[in-house]
Amino acid sequence: MSLKVYEDDLCFIVLNLYPYNPAHLMIVTQRHITKFLDLTKEELLHITRAIQGIQLLLNDLYNPKGYNIGINQGRNAGGTIEHLHFHLIPRYGSELGFIDIVGKTRVLPEGLEAVKKKIEENINKYLNREFFENF
């Protein structure tokens, strides 16, 4: 199963294969770069706008209580993929349960396929030409 839920000329968006929470997404540059400083102005604006659009989508679909948005640039910073990408992790409040703590494993209430289907059915309402041009 492909984890990609969106793609355009400057970026693509994929579900994280090992999500911290349902709808943990990664926004990835099309251009192969590894450093935040290497982003062009166009890429920086476009990617941050895409993150805003995804937040609007997830607000409607999941109503999270907050978000972690970030980059792990380089192995020493926790990066495991040698390609610049942004993590968008919805946070829901009390997320850890008994199994998470005692079993030292994560139990997610929704699988990747179900999350992907929800996002794909709704993403074009948020990430479209009008959204990127009119802000």
The candidate with the shortest Cα–Cα distance to 86, out of 31, 20, 14, is 14
Q: Which amino acid makes up residue 80?
A: T
Give the SS3 label for residue 119.
helix
- Residue 40 placed within a domain: yes
Strand partners for 25: 15, 88
Tell me the C-alpha distance between 106 and 101, whole Å: 9
Q: Using N-to-C axis directions, what is the helix angle for 41-62 and 112-122, rounded to 10°?
A: 110
Quick check: is 35 in a domain? yes
- With respect to residue 135, please indicate whether it lies within any of the assigned structural domains: no
In CATH, what number is assigned to the domain containing residue 112? 3.30.428.10
- Is the four-CA dihedral 128, 132, 133, 135 of positive or negative sign? positive
Determine the structural domain holding residue 88 and report its residue range. Answer: 4-130
Percent of all residues in the chain with a pLDDT value above 90, rounded to a whole number: 73
Question: Which residues are part of the catalytic machinery?
Answer: 85
Residue 103 is predicted with a pLDDT of 45
**pLDDT tens digit string along 61-109?**
999 999 999 998 878 877 777 899 999 999 988 665 444 444 455 555 6
pLDDT digits 0-9 by tens, 14-70: 999 988 889 999 999 999 999 999 999 999 999 999 999 999 999 999 999 999 999
Number of domains forming the structure of the chain: 1
